[in-house]
Amino acid sequence: MLKAYRYRLYPSKPQQRLLERTLETARRWYNDCLAQRKAAYELVGWSVSYAYQLRQVKHRKAESPFAAGVHSHVLQLVCTDLERAFQAFFRRVKAGEKPGGAIASPVLASRSTAMASRSTAGASK
Look at residue 38 and tell me if it is in a domain.
yes
72: left (phi over 0), alpha (psi -120 to 50) or beta: alpha
Mean pLDDT by 10 residues, the chain (125 residues): 87 92 91 92 90 91 86 92 89 78 69 60 48
Q: Is the CA virtual torsion 66, 61, 75, 122 positive or negative?
A: negative
**pLDDT value of position 80:** 94
| pTM attached to this predicted model | 0.77
Task: State the Cα–Cα distance between residues 125 and 121, nearest whole angstrom.
Answer: 8
Contact 115, 27 (CB under 8 A): yes
**pLDDT value of position 95:** 84
Look at residue 69 and tell me if it is in a domain.
yes
Look at residue 113 and tell me if it is in a domain.
no
Task: State the Cα–Cα distance between residues 59 and 51, nearest whole angstrom.
Answer: 14
**pLDDT value of position 90:** 84
**pLDDT value of position 14:** 95
Look at residue 41 and tell me if it is in a domain.
yes
Count of structural domains, the chain: 1
| Domain carrying residue 99 | 16-103
**pLDDT value of position 125:** 39
